Structure 1
Amino acid sequence: MPRAWRLPTWMRSAAYLVFGACLGVGGTFGLQQWQNAGEESPVVQTPNKQNRQPRTLVMDLLLQGDPVLGKPSAPITIVEFSDYQCPYCRRFQQQVFPKLKREFIDEGLVRLIHKDLPLPFHQQAETSAAVARCAEQQDAFWPVHQALYDQQSCLECRGPIAIAVAAGLNGDELDRCLRQPAILEAVRSNRSESTLHDISATPTFVIGPTIGRDRHRGQIVEGALPWPQFKSLIEQQLKKASLDAKR
Structure 2
Amino acid sequence: MHISHRSVVGCLAGVALGIGSTVIVQRLQEQRLPQPGESQSRPIPALTSPLLLKGEPALGDATAPLTIVEFSDFECSYCRRFHEQVMPQLKSEYIDTGLIRFVHKDLPLPFHPHALPAAAAARCASEQNSYWDLYAALFDQQNCLNCKGVLAIAAEEELNTAALQACMERKSTVALINANRSEASLHNISATPTFVIGPTQSDGSLDGRVIEGALPWSTFKSTIDEALREVPRN
TM-score (norm 1): 0.80
Report the counterpart of residue 245 of structure 1 in structure 2: 233
Q: Matches of 1:141 and 1:44 in 2, distance apart?
A: 34
Q: Matches of 2:58 and 2:203 in 1, distance apart?
A: 10
Structure 2 counterpart of 1:223, one-letter code: G
Structure 2 unmatched ranges of 5 or more: 26-33
Structure 1 unmatched ranges of 5 or more: 1-17, 24-28, 35-41
Moved more, 161-170 or 226-235: 161-170
Report the counterpart of residue 147 of structure 1 in structure 2: 137
Contact 1:63 / 1:216 at 8 angstroms: preserved in 2?
yes
Structure 2 counterpart of 1:32, one-letter code: A
Q: What's the % identity of the aligned pairs?
A: 47
Report the counterpart of residue 124 of structure 1 in structure 2: 114
Q: Matches of 1:108 and 1:22 in 2, distance apart?
A: 40
- The structure-2 alpha-carbon separation of the partners of 1:212 and 1:19, relative to structure 1 and needing over 3 Å to count, comes to closer
> How is 1:30-49 mapped onto 2 (pairs within 5 angstroms)?
31-33=12-14, 44-47=22-25
Quote how far apart the aligned CAs of 1:176 are: 2.1
- The structure-2 alpha-carbon separation of the partners of 1:239 and 1:140, relative to structure 1 and needing over 3 Å to count, comes to same
Quote how far apart the aligned CAs of 1:191 are: 0.6
Quote how far apart the aligned CAs of 1:113 are: 0.4
Contact 2:134 / 2:154 at 8 angstroms: preserved in 1?
yes
1:87 matched to 2:89: no
More helix by share: 1
For 2:110, what is the secondary structure of its paired residue?
Answer: coil
Structure 2 counterpart of 1:22, one-letter code: V
Quote how far apart the aligned CAs of 1:56 are: 4.8
> How is 1:16-35 mapped onto 2 (pairs within 5 angstroms)?
20-22=7-9, 29=11, 31-33=12-14
Q: Matches of 1:181 and 1:144 in 2, distance apart?
A: 21
> How is 1:183-198 mapped onto 2 (pairs within 5 angstroms)?
183-198=173-188
Report the counterpart of residue 66 of structure 1 in structure 2: 56
TM-score (norm 2): 0.84
For 1:126, what is the secondary structure of its paired residue?
Answer: helix
Q: Matches of 2:96 and 2:186 in 1, distance apart?
A: 32
Quote how far apart the aligned CAs of 1:164 are: 1.1
- Number of residue pairs aligned between Structure 1 and Structure 2: 214
Per-residue CA shift, 1:114-137, capped at 9, x if unaligned?
A: 000000000000010000000011
- The structure-2 alpha-carbon separation of the partners of 1:56 and 1:196, relative to structure 1 and needing over 3 Å to count, comes to closer
Q: Matches of 2:151 and 2:39 in 1, distance apart?
A: 37
1:210 matched to 2:200: yes
